[in-house]
A = this chain, B = another copy of it.
Amino acid sequence: MTDDVPPHSRRTTLADVAARVGVSAITVSRALRRPDMVSEPLRKRIAEAVGELGYVPDPAARALASRRSNVIGVIIPSITNNVFSDVLTGIYDTLEGTAYDIQLGNSRYNAAKEEALLRVFLSQRPAGLIVTGFDQSPAARRLLETAGCPIVQIMETGGNPVDMMVGFSHFDAAGAATRHLIAQGYRAPAFIGARMDPRSQRRFQGYRAATTEAGVFSEARVLTTADPSNVSLGARLFAELLARAPETDAVLCNNDDLALGVLFEARRQGMEIPGRLGLCGFNDLEMMACAEPPVSSVRTFRQQMGQQGSEMLLARLNGQEPEQRLVNLGYELIVRQSTLR
């Protein structure tokens, strides 16, 4: 590799395109951003020149001049969690091809970190913001309220939205799953939860309300941890649960990873599902349908959350109002063999 200074050609600017067409730079700028303000033939000639010169606008210059970047900030609590990678996919799919870039922040289930990310994002004057849930720190909440850009809170409903919101009720969803177990005749349904972030807490509350209502709630059958969720943890927690509450005849898991761990551990212990143990997961990841036996779960619409959230943002950024500011995507209880007695 010869180290001759690369011909670091000056980048093609608006002015270059303008000179080529014989108009002023500002007209080219308008042809690109507000085509309706430029006459048809001129617009075509400009488009041609843009193509020939391979002109690409400089987002930094644009951001500086307009005091508004094309960045949409997205803050999620985890990248590896399947739930959020599905949400992200929805967001990327929707925002791709628009003028907006995504800036992803990982809050690691930590409100202080979320607040810090928010500050960083806001320093870029983002076009919009997508944040997870409504359990921001008070300071973060204030930052959101004065952000001066459209904001979508995803993953939940309720909680006095800052601006727009799309999600579902974790309380209701977990309640529905619990009532299903009870309706199947399980009299000692347990709850296994990991991570126990705010949404997990609300799922637990849904379980608690439903079991209490049916008179089958017992502290002994609740096993939660702040540790991050994974399959092995599900297996370990289930073993612990059995030791502590051997009467357990069903388990509602906070998510499908845990449920898969329970499935494996139950098999190791020779417990039949659903005969000896009912098992229900949460989120309905693809694998649940294919497991042996297939595992019941609460389907959540993760990709749609990302998609709709992004669409709401885009509507606002286009100066329209989204059809609804608050969207409840609901959930769907998917009953499979693992909970059929």
- Count this chain's copies in the assembly: 2
Q: Does A150 contact B (CB under 8 A)?
A: no
Q: For the complex, what is the distance from the CA of A287 to the CA of B61, rounded to whole Å?
A: 47
The chain B residue sitting closest to A124, CB to CB, is: B59
Residues of B near A119 (CB, < 8 A) are: 56
Asked whether A260 lies within 8 Å of B287 as measured between CB atoms, the reply is yes
Residues of B near A60 (CB, < 8 A) are: 59-61, 63-64, 69, 124-125
Q: Does A104 contact B (CB under 8 A)?
A: yes
> In the complex, how many residues of chain A place their beta carbon closer than 8 angstroms to a beta carbon of chain B?
50
Interface string of A49-81 (1 = CB under 8 A from B): 000000011111101100001000000000110
Q: Does A219 contact B (CB under 8 A)?
A: no
* 8 Å CB contact of A88 from B56, B58, B79: B79
Interface string of A65-103 (1 = CB under 8 A from B): 000010000000001101001101100100010000111
Q: For the complex, what is the distance from the CA of A286 to the CA of B257, rounded to whole Å?
A: 10
The interface residues of chain A, by DSSP majority, are classed as: helix
List A244-293 residues whose CB lies under 8 Å from chain B. 257, 260-261, 264-265, 267-268, 286-287, 289-292
Asked whether B123 lies within 8 Å of A287 as measured between CB atoms, the reply is no
Q: Does A148 contact B (CB under 8 A)?
A: yes
Asked whether B292 lies within 8 Å of A146 as measured between CB atoms, the reply is no
Asked whether A287 lies within 8 Å of B232 as measured between CB atoms, the reply is yes
Given contacts A79-B92, A232-B286, 7 further A-B contacts (CB under 8 A): A56-B119, A80-B89, A101-B103, A230-B286, A230-B287, A232-B290, A235-B290
